[in-house]
């Protein structure tokens, strides 16, 4: 239920990590070392810009925008034709962005982080 980044990405971004280290128990029962917290990290998805606090993991984890971020952007699950699922995120100007979670072609969860996170082509704008 938190926002998580792996240590190597936090280092590449030059984030300052504060707070003491702690252990986090995942949903599946696995343990993950949290090295600390990077506060007020600017995140941009489409035209959505937010400051997010990330827990920095010492393990090999995928970046996670957790419940605090999802509530802040009024995110919702959307089901699209052919069995696909997307995460619907609204920006401050009333536009909706759809981020794929399950693709209809293979019915598998998306588990890779977009290769280029600065390009708007990684998100689709929903039709009204």
pLDDT digits (tens, 9 = 90+) for 34-69: 999 999 999 887 778 889 999 999 988 888 888 888
The range of the structural domain enclosing residue 82 comes to 4-125
* CB under 8 A, 24+ apart: contacts of 85-89: 86/124, 88/126, 89/45, 89/46, 89/48
**Segment 95-123, tens digit of pLDDT:** 888 877 776 665 555 556 555 444 333 33
pTM higher than 0.75 for the full model? Answer: no
The conformational region for residue 74 under phi > 0 = left, psi -120 to 50 = alpha, else beta, is left
User: For position 124, what pLDDT does the model report?
Assistant: 38
Helices vs. strands in the chain: H and E counts, helices first: 2, 8
Q: What is the CATH number of the domain that holds 63?
A: 2.40.70
Give me the number of domains the chain comprises.
1
């Amino acid at each position: 239920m938190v926002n998580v980044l792996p240590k190597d990405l936090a280092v590449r971004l030059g984030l300052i990590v504060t707070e003491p280290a702690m252990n986090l128990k995942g949903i599946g029962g696995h343990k993950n070392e949290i090295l600390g917290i990077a506060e007020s990290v600017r995140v941009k998805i489409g035209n959505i810009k937010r400051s997010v606090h990330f827990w920095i993991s010492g393990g090999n984890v995928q970046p996670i925008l957790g419940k605090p971020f999802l509530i802040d952007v009024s995110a919702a699950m959307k089901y699209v034709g052919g069995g696909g699922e997307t995460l619907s995120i609204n920006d401050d100007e009333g536009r909706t962005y759809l981020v794929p979670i399950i693709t209809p072609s293979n019915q598998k969860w998306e588990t890779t982080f977009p290769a280029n996170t600065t390009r708007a082509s990684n998100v689709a704008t929903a039709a009204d």
